[in-house]
Amino acid sequence: MLLIDHFAYNNRLVRMHPGEKTLFFVITIGICLALPSLATSLVITLLMAGVVVFGAGVPWRFYAKLLMVPSSFLIIGVLAVAVSVTREPQQFLWAVHPGSFTVGITRAGLLTAAELFFRSLGAVSCLYFLSLTTPMTETVGLLKKLRMPALVVELIALIYRLIFILLGMSGQIYTAQSSRLGYRNMRTGFTALSQLIMSMFIKSYKQSQSMYDAMVARCYDGQLHFVEEKRNWSARHVLVIVTVDGILAAWALYAGGIL
């Protein structure tokens, strides 16, 4: 079991009804995407970090490492937004002049890149909140109650499980290769990486066959069935969620200059 799955089953908010956590997730990510501003995205990121670390009891070091994964991709992605290429004279903060073109960073481009980065990070923190506090079995049960098509629910459950299988498998192969100095320099690193990808392809195919055989042995009839623990809605939790998101929406409208 990977740590994300471990904390999903072992956190202080696991007893909450999954509908309450999904309600908080949907409203908050909706505010993050519909009312974008740098301040709003920062507040949502900090709010979700506080709920996950102090509310759910997930170690802050683990959560920080988890946030660094999408952050590295986002930084690379927003660099293309921050850099402007033009022939027209503009107020650049920094620029080079290859030929008749000017390549540089403007204040507007930098602000747009920062807003895009923190908006994406805010949305990712909302997804982390749901992933780290709600077991997948409860999410699947909630989707079934919301009348989501059975095929879609089944695909979500299988893809989620296969992602964890692939991550666990790649971690084991990487550890074995590292113990044999497989990544001691660039040359051996590329060779080891190609072997890791090939091994993952073969092992994942065999693992998928084994998983299907195990499901058939347990009377799989085209639908996945999970044992769910009955949980009750809490009026106090709903009131807290509505109040927090109401304040957040008012703050987002104020920060966006609408109020």
**What are the pLDDT digits (tens) for 164-176?**
778 888 888 888 8
The widest CA-to-CA distance across the chain, in whole angstroms, is: 70
Q: What are phi and psi of 169, to 5 degrees?
A: -65, -45
The per-residue pLDDT for 96 is 78
Rg of the chain taking only CA atoms, in angstroms: 23
pLDDT band (50, 70, 90) for residue 60: very high
Q: Map out the domains of the chain as residue ranges.
A: 3-134+230-256, 147-217
For 81-121, write each residue's pLDDT tens digit. Answer: 888 777 776 677 777 777 777 787 888 888 888 888 999 99
**What totals of helices (H) and strands (E) does the chain contain, helices first?**
9, 3
Q: Cβ distance 28 to 19 under 8 Å?
A: no
For residues 135 and 49, give the distance between their C-alpha atoms in angstroms, rounded to a whole number.
Answer: 18
Supply the pTM of this predicted model.
Answer: 0.80
The per-residue pLDDT for 145 is 85
